[in-house]
Amino acid sequence: NTVQKRPNVIDICVETDKLLVKLQDNHKILETVQKGLADYLETKRIAFPRFFFLSDEELLSILSNTKNPTSVQPFLRSCFENMARIKFLDEDKNYEMVSMTSHEGEVVLFAEPMIPQGQVEIWMGQLEKLAIKTVKLRCAETLTKYIQMVFENGIQGRASWVKCGFAQGVCLVNQLVFCNDTEWAIRDGQLKEYRDQLDKQLECMTELVRTGLNKLESKVFSALLTYDVFQRDKIQTMIDQKVISTNDFEWAKHPKHICNVDQMYLQPIHGSNDFYYKPNYSAEEYKKMVESVLEEASEIKSEFLISFQQILSTLPYQFEYLGNTARLVITPLTLKIYSTISQSQGMFKFSSCSGPAGSGKTETSKQLSNKELGLVCVVFNCSEGLDLIGIKRMLSGVISSGGCLVMDEINRLSLDVLSVFAQMVLGVQRGLQLCGGSIVKTPKTEVGKSMAHIQTTKILFENTELNLQSTAAVIITQNPNYSGRQKLPANLVALFRAVSVMVPNYMKICQIRLYSYGFKKATSLAQKAVSVFKLCSEQLSLCSWYDYGMRAINSTIQAAGNIRQELGNMCVQNSKDIPLKHNVPDPRYYTEDQIVLRAITETNSPKFLHNDYLLFKNILSDLFPQIKPPFIDYHLLIDELNQVLRSNFMNFLQPDE
Ligand SMILES: Nc1ncnc2c1ncn2[C@@H]1O[C@H](COP(=O)(O)OP(=O)(O)OP(=O)(O)O)[C@@H](O)[C@H]1O
Ligand SMILES: [Mg+2]
């Protein structure tokens, strides 16, 4: 009011001497309110630890709207790994929750419907448990479906199983079965026969990918094919190395999954005649065995357990819902990172990956914690402005929800923040040592596997009492070559086992990814694509925005895969296979070379300067001789651009000039 009456700032400040006191008082009140609010939010976060992953504003927006449970929808993805939406029924009555949908659109029915009741942090906690229970149940169902379908239809049965399954379960069950079958093949000296069977499986799957699948199906097939190739190569290596025992290091270092359905380990899982294993018991006896596995799996259901095993570590799988997402190609480098992380986790230590840009540090750490261990994984991009409160909040969330925190580019933080971070991590590791980590229990029967069980314990973390879950992990990544980055202090380095990551295997990654999209000529196309990037890096000018690393190659392959999937049956290997339409080759058909050529051109040419673009075109015509680039009609786009440019008095250069 005073200001309104006399809107002159000097008058107000000079003449009313009470203003300063008033402002100081208000500031004090504001501080008390903020402290109270922070304490209040902290209690909510301790009650449901995944709220630690939300900012204060986001959490307040949920808390201020508790009457309407649907208000949590926008924040689900920050709390859960890949739960994008929940289906609420009866929005004007009890808001019954019936299913969850992933970011890609996979819908999974909950194990049982749930009605959100009471305070939001309470029912969100129940929702977290329900999601885990659902994933367990769906995985157990996927296993029983696999056994039934393979028993009835062999390799064809397996292919149809992939289509009707639940993506996360399909990948896991595939791993479970592979580990069991391989151990049988090693013991019986039948690795060669098993490799032939895997070859047949691969062929059957790639045929299906080529026939055109819907979007979700092709995602599962791609993920599974990536794994299948890796598994076939693994068996080949074991044949070459003459592995004869399951204790051989070559097999011990393989990342394996095992489960607590003991009956499953009584025999390799097989179906009709296309199976390598020729059992010496009758079909009748085998049928009985299959039935006993099915019975055990359906009895276990929500008690279904999976463990990850590599060398000396057995770690529990946590069944976070992951949806239907792509997988990285597993190369020797990936395995090196996997074994460092899994072994250090078994010794109550954490791990650190260091290496140049684009070598796969972040993505590989994420894939291990997500896909192999089923944890919720939070990637935290460290920047210089990051404060300790933020770090503490993330760590609190991760340790009480048993997830994995990836501190990306940690050496950007300042030295004082790093030393305090080291203290916090030490506290977590001590807690893990005190509770003894996850306990490995001996199996109920002789054939069963020793499974790891998650443990929880209470620890005092930075003056707050929190529940610590034994699966909690921290991974740090750094690129030590950039100038101006901090050298990590010794007390931090001592807590992490280091792995250095060098150049990824471009050729192999490219080849397997192309193969997983259904390209028959994957090997030669991968060679060409990698050579294009290599030649560009040597011949083109050095602009800071040109990138020829894994990221650029990846987006090119992704684009090629998308075009391939859209075309479905209209993709052929050679131009002479294109059917004629009005006596000319049908323009809707593409050859595999044309697809890759188009993908390389479209994803890369926009970033090149004019002179480099000409060089780039020459490189392409050298590597793809006599391949006519597919015709794409851009004239509408070009006309529009032309108009906009003219109206701004700019010149238009034809793309080929
Ligand atoms: N084994 C692999 N299979 C498939 N793609 C891979 C593989 N390794 C890395 N990539 C791809 O390479 C790209 C770069 O990986 P990532 O982001 O993990 O690199 P980084 O080492 O963390 O780099 P930076 O230091 O720049 O953060 C990603 O797009 C990733 O998908
Ligand atoms: Mg990174």
Locate the domains of the chain by residue range.
118-304, 330-504, 523-647
Cβ of 361 less than 6 Å from ligand 1: yes
- At 313, which helix (H) or strand (E)? strand 313-316
The CATH number corresponding to 523-647 among 1.10.8.710, 3.90.1530.10, 1.10.510.10, 3.40.50.720 equals 1.10.8.710
d(CA 63, CA 71) in angstroms, rounded, equals 9
* Joined tokens for residue 88: 């609420």
Ligand 2 (ion): residues with CB under 5 Å are 362
Of 127 and 631, which is predicted with more confidence?
127
Contact 511 CB / ligand 1 (< 6 Å): no
Establish whether residue 329 lines the binding site of ligand 1, counting it when its CB lies within 6 angstroms of any ligand atom: yes
Asked if pLDDT for residue 83 goes beyond 70, the answer is yes
Instruction: Determine the average pLDDT of the residues in 452-475.
Output: 92
Q: What is the structure's pLDDT at 655?
A: 59
> Is a pLDDT exceeding 90 seen at residue 259?
yes
What are the backbone dihedrals phi and psi of residue 524, each rounded to the nearest 5 degrees, phi first? -70, -35
Question: Is the shortest distance between the CB of 554 and ligand 1 below 6 Å?
Answer: yes
pLDDT tens track for 266-304 = 888 776 666 766 666 677 777 787 788 888 878 887 789
DSSP assignments along 27-41, one per residue: HHHHHHHHHHHHHHH
Q: Taking residues 619-638, report their average pLDDT.
A: 86
Containing H/E element for 536?
helix 522-539
pLDDT at 264: 86
Burial of residue 437 (number of CB atoms within 10 Å: 0-12, 13-18, 19+): buried
> Among the atoms of ligand 1, which is closest to the Cα of residue 331?
1
Q: How far is the CA of 217 from the centre of ligand 1 (A)?
A: 24
Alpha helices in 165-282 (DSSP H): 167-187, 191-210, 215-240, 249-252
- Count of CB atoms situated within 10 Å of the CB of 345: 28
The count of C-alpha atoms lying within 13 angstroms of the C-alpha of 528, restricted to the half-sphere facing its C-beta, is 24
| Residues paired with 441 in a beta bridge | 451
Which pLDDT belongs to residue 272?
61
pLDDT of 302: 74
The DSSP secondary-structure symbol of 70 reads G
pLDDT reading at 208 higher than 90 = no
pLDDT at position 428: 94
Measuring from atom 14 of ligand 1, which residue has the nearest CA? 358
What three-state secondary structure class fits 144? Answer: helix
The ligand minimizing its distance to the Cα of 355 is: 1
Tell me, using a 6 A CB cutoff, whether residue 543 lines ligand 1.
Answer: no
Nearest atom of ligand 1 to the alpha carbon of 363 = 18
What's the CA-to-centroid distance between 657 and ligand 2, angstroms? 38
How far is the CA of 112 from the CAs of 76, 294, 374, 468, in angstroms?
A: 19, 22, 21, 28
**Nearest-CA residue for atom 25 of ligand 1:** 357
- Pairing type for strands 473-478 and 496-500 reads unpaired
Atom 28 of ligand 1, nearest CA residue: 551
The answer to whether the CB of 478 is under 6 A from ligand 1 is no
Looking at per-residue pLDDT, the higher value among 615 and 90 belongs to: 615
| CA-CA-CA-CA torsion sign (193, 198, 202, 205) | positive
CB 115 within 8 A of CB 128: no
C-alpha of residue 415 to centroid of ligand 2, in Å:
20
DSSP H helices in 48-119:
56-63, 76-79
**Is the CB of 358 within 6 Å of ligand 1?**
yes
pLDDT score, position 279: 64
User: 371: burial class by Cβ within 10 Å (0-12, 13-18, 19+)?
Assistant: buried
**400 Cβ below 6 A of ligand 1:** no
* DSSP 8-state secondary structure symbol assigned to residue 489: P
Q: What is the pLDDT of residue 305?
A: 92
Percentages (nearest 5) of helix, strand, coil residues in the chain: 55, 10, 30
**Å from CA of 508 to ligand 2 middle:** 20
* Tokens 């509408």 -> residue: 636
Largest Cα–Cα distance of the chain, in whole Å? 104
Ligand 1 atom index nearest CA of 555? 29
- Tens-place pLDDT, residues 129-175: 999 999 999 999 999 888 888 888 888 888 889 988 799 999 999 99
331 CB near ligand 1 (under 6 Å): yes
**Total residues belonging to the chain:** 657
488 DSSP 8-state letter: P
Q: How far is the CA of 154 from the centre of ligand 1 (A)?
A: 36
Mean model confidence pLDDT for the chain: 89
Ligand 1 pocket check for 362: Cβ under 6 Å: yes
The confidence score (pLDDT) of residue 491 equals: 92
Which token pair is 60? 């307040």
Mutate to test the pocket of ligand 1, among 330, 352, 363 (most ligand atoms within 8 A of CB): 363
Ligand nearest to the CA of 366: 1
Please tell me what DSSP assigns to residue 366: H
| Any ligand 1 atom below 6 A from CB of 360 | yes
341 token code pair:
């992380």
The answer, yes or no, to whether residue 23 has pLDDT greater than 90, is: no
Mutate to test the pocket of ligand 1, among 337, 338, 513, 554 (most ligand atoms within 8 A of CB): 554
Evaluate: CB of 334 within 6 angstroms of ligand 1: yes
CATH of 330-504, one of 2.40.110.10, 3.20.20.60, 3.40.50.300, 3.40.50.2300: 3.40.50.300
Do 205 and 228 touch, CB atoms closer than 8 A?
yes
The percent of residues in the chain predicted with pLDDT above 70, rounded, is 97
Instruction: Answer whether 357 contacts ligand 1 (Cβ < 6 A).
Output: yes
Euclidean distance between CA atoms 41 and 54, whole angstroms:
11
- Measured distance CA(183)–CA(191) in Å, rounded: 9
Distances (CA, A) of 241 to 179, 250, 657: 18, 8, 56
- CA–centroid distance, residue 523 to ligand 1 (Å): 21
Residue of 371, 379, 550 to test ligand 1 pocket, by largest number of atoms within 8 Å of CB: 550
Least confident of 14-18, 190-194, 503-507: 14-18
At 106 the three-state DSSP class reads coil
User: Residue 275: which region, alpha, beta or left (left: phi > 0; alpha: psi -120 to 50)?
Assistant: beta
Report yes or no: 462 and 428 within 8 Å, Cβ to Cβ.
no
Q: Which CATH superfamily is domain 118-304 in?
A: Dynein motor heavy chain, linker domain, subdomain 4 (1.20.58.1120)
| pLDDT for residue 317 is more than 80 | yes
pLDDT, tens digit, for every residue of 543-599? 888 988 899 999 999 999 999 888 878 888 888 888 888 888 888 888 999 999 999
Distance CA 345, CA 105 (A): 33
Cα of 354 vs centre of ligand 2, distance in Å, is 10
Residue 441, amino acid:
K
Select from 325, 295, 304 the least CA-distant residue to 219: 325
CA atoms of 221 and 209, how far apart (whole Å): 7
